[in-house]
Amino acid sequence: MGKYILALDQGTTSSRAIIFDHDGSIKATAQKEFKQIFPQPGWVEHDAMEIWTSQASVAAEVLLKARITGDNIAAIGITNQRETTIVWDRKTGKPVHHAIVWQDRRTAAYCDSLIKDGKEQLIKDKTGLRIDAYFSATKIKWILDNVPGVREKAEAGELAFGTVDSWLTWNFSNGQLHITDVSNASRTLLFNIHDMKWDDELLSLFGIPASMLPEVKPSSEVYGYSEATLTPYRIPIAGIAGDQQAALFGQMCTEPGMLKNTYGTGCFMVLNTGDKPIPSKNNLLTTVAWQINGKTTYALEGSIFIGGAVVQWLRDGLGIIRHSADVEKLAATVPHSDGVYFVPAFAGLGAPYWNQHARGTMVGITRGTSAAHIARAALDSIAFQTMDVLKAMEGDAGMPISELRVDGGATSNNLLMQFQSDLLQVRVVRPHITETTALGAAYLAGLAVGFWDSIPSIARQWKVDATFEPSMETSQRQQLCKDWKRAIRAAQAWTAED
């Protein structure tokens, strides 16, 4: 038995590989950014070959950094940016088009037409999702309809569709595996989360041939082996989960009512709802969390499209900071945002508003507004959006939430975490290991090969790094929340044509 688990964390802006030991501690990590492609406003693409080569190269690099070889690895776990859509040729293994990223809005008008045709309830009942350009089905349809010759090839059974997990397992297994797991399948708009199968009625609605689809598997089992792409060793590929579900598992939110928020490019709050899918009355998504040993766990999720990406924009778009980490220092030079509110709806508004036509809006700017106030308002916006989703979740779950477990890059920002606790009036807990997405994938893979013997024994590894308790005056919090609501109304007013 190998002594370590290799987690591959394929994210929106970078590919990472992390090696975990039996205590769930990090032995080594490697990361590589890759190119973001913006062919026109609202369109976001990745080069799928670059996703694969960057992920393969960090996987090789992390073994070198850890000074180990493939025979020290007990299993590989994969976690990935979800909804991002790749279609490739089964014979050549080459993509027929760039990957269309989850943030991409090119199918928004088609989504509007489906809603107009009254398809919203049918889709929501089967998939737990809303009709939105965010999900994979409309992206697959766009590729079939817009890339010459592709629909014919798809109908002849020559093409494969996959989200990023499928693309990576296909390549690591040298074309032996065309699979996905239940958590990723549940984000495509094509998967029925009640009978846990691809849905013929939905495939026909979107005009997608069933032959393109991967086989759906549990989130933790030995699916197959890496062929000689990574090392000469055949390593079991044994765990797959979409990034947010993996983070929920890595945070050990394994009981109903437990909740985490990941602060990444976007922010994603996920609540474990146990063995029953809870339909949302508050514009959240009902989704599959994972399936282990034949038992399916469901979740409610609120997606905020722009979280940490707002800090990247301050760095790359505005140029007011040189490094993302500088934002906390700059924001801390002022006591508050001085009445500036920033709604970073660069790619529309996600939960609980779901306005795909909204755009970024800044209000309350005066002659005295400085770069520091804008930085503060940008950080505040991450906490405000999280608050909106948490309130919607409390409504759906029918219970107050007392603790939020947090992870992701922005959680190292103590200023933001304290403000988050103040707004929510709940305890915010940051774990010792904030790489919970990769850790979740490692746990799923390790359970499948017996590297860890049970979920309770893994849960004992979870350790707290810092806790933030609310300390803001009620009147101040109420005023902030009221003004944030006004800022949201301003962002939505911009979408009205008249």
Q: With contact defined as beta carbons under 8 Å apart, do 245 and 271 qualify?
A: no
Flag whether 492 is marked binding. Answer: no
Query: Residue 229 is part of which domain span?
Result: 4-244
Average pLDDT over residues 302-322: 86
Whole-angstrom Cα distance, residue 385 to residue 390? 9
Flag whether 244 is marked binding. Answer: yes
Residue 308 has pLDDT above 90, yes or no: no
Average pLDDT over residues 193-219: 97
Flag whether 450 is marked binding. Answer: no
Question: Among 87-91, 168-172, 317-321, 441-445, whose mean pLDDT is lowest?
Answer: 317-321
Instruction: Please check whether residue 187 lies inside any domain of the structure.
Output: yes
Instruction: Please check whether residue 83 lies inside any domain of the structure.
Output: yes
Whole-angstrom Cα distance, residue 239 to residue 446? 8
- Of the pLDDT bands very low, low, confident and very high (cuts 50, 70, 90), residue 229 is low
Average pLDDT over residues 469-497: 92
Flag whether 211 is marked binding. Answer: no
pLDDT tens, residue by residue, 15-30: 999 999 999 999 999 9
Q: Could you give the percent of the chain with pLDDT greater than 90? A: 76
Whole-angstrom Cα distance, residue 213 to residue 142? 16
Instruction: Please check whether residue 117 lies inside any domain of the structure.
Output: yes
Average pLDDT over residues 237-255: 95
| Helix/strand number for the chain, H first, E second | 16, 23
Supply the angle between the helices 164-172 and 48-66 in degrees, to the nearest 10. Answer: 60
- CA dihedral for 113, 116, 118, 122, sign (positive or negative): positive
- The pLDDT score that the predictor gives to residue 435 is 85
Q: Which two tokens stand for residue 336?
A: 């508050």
pLDDT tens, residue by residue, 44-69: 999 999 999 999 999 999 999 999 98
Q: Which two tokens stand for residue 32?
A: 């590589």
Residue 2 has pLDDT above 70, yes or no: no
The CATH number for 111's domain is 3.30.420.40
Average pLDDT over residues 395-401: 81
Flag whether 298 is marked binding. Answer: no
Residue 462 has pLDDT above 60, yes or no: yes
Whole-angstrom Cα distance, residue 213 to residue 241? 17
- The pLDDT score that the predictor gives to residue 498 is 58
The three-state secondary structure class of 67 is: coil
Residue 231 has pLDDT above 70, yes or no: no
- The pLDDT score that the predictor gives to residue 64 is 93
Flag whether 55 is marked binding. Answer: no
Flag whether 82 is marked binding. Answer: yes
Flag whether 413 is marked binding. Answer: yes
pTM of structure: 0.88
Instruction: Please check whether residue 90 lies inside any domain of the structure.
Output: yes
Residue 464 has pLDDT above 80, yes or no: yes
Average pLDDT, the chain: 92
Flag whether 479 is marked binding. Answer: no
- The pLDDT score that the predictor gives to residue 368 is 94
- CA dihedral for 165, 166, 172, 177, sign (positive or negative): positive
Instruction: Please check whether residue 180 lies inside any domain of the structure.
Output: yes
Residue 232 has pLDDT above 80, yes or no: no
Residue 189 has pLDDT above 70, yes or no: yes
Instruction: Please check whether residue 465 lies inside any domain of the structure.
Output: no
Flag whether 294 is marked binding. Answer: no
The three-state secondary structure class of 463 is: coil
Write the CA distances from 355 to 153, 254, 313, integer angstroms: 35, 32, 21
Flag whether 16 is marked binding. Answer: yes
Q: Could you give the percent of the chain with pLDDT greater than 70? A: 98
Instruction: Please check whether residue 408 lies inside any domain of the structure.
Output: no
- The pLDDT score that the predictor gives to residue 42 is 87
Number of domains the chain is built from:
1
- The pLDDT score that the predictor gives to residue 116 is 95
Instruction: Please check whether residue 391 lies inside any domain of the structure.
Output: no
pLDDT tens, residue by residue, 106-149: 999 999 999 999 999 999 999 999 999 989 999 999 999 999 99
Flag whether 265 is marked binding. Answer: yes
Flag whether 312 is marked binding. Answer: yes
- Of the pLDDT bands very low, low, confident and very high (cuts 50, 70, 90), residue 1 is low
